[in-house]
Amino acid sequence: MTNQYQSSNDFKYTAALLKYAPEETQAFIDFDHKTTKRREGNIPIKTRELIALAVALTTQCAYCIDVHIKGAKQAGVSEEELAELISISASVKAGATMAHGLLAMRLFEQ
């Protein structure tokens, strides 16, 4: 990640969060791991990582993209699957824009 405001080095500040807000930070970490890293669930880890990565792309969270691209690669996601996922995510994001456009049209009409 090259953005001057976001760097994968920022993950080292997790220790500070654990120090100053231990219960809240640990609760987030536990929740994140239970939902995205859970291997005994009905959704396979590869699919979980693809879902997480798609959400990260649409919410544009650089940290989540960093974490979940690594997780997806480790789970066996191919470059072809990644390319398709990127297009699907872009389509969903564009679809959301169109949906909000419909809302804007209705509100304008009122």
- Please state whether 17 falls in left (phi above 0), alpha (psi between -120 and 50) or beta: alpha
**pLDDT digit string (tens) for the chain, length 110 residues:** 455 778 888 999 999 999 999 999 999 999 999 998 888 889 999 999 999 999 999 999 999 999 999 999 999 999 999 999 999 999 999 999 999 999 999 999 99
Q: In whole angstroms, how far apart are CA 87 and each of 14, 27, 44, 48?
A: 32, 33, 22, 18
Using CB atoms within 10 Å of the CB of residue 83, give its burial: 0 to 12 exposed, 13 to 18 middle, 19+ buried: exposed
Using CB atoms within 10 Å of the CB of residue 93, give its burial: 0 to 12 exposed, 13 to 18 middle, 19+ buried: middle
Which domains occur in the chain, in start order?
Answer: 10-109 (1.20.1290.10)
Polymer length in residues for the chain:
110
Q: Is the pTM of this model over 0.85?
A: no
CA distance 26 to 18: 7
Token pair in block for residue 103: 């809302």
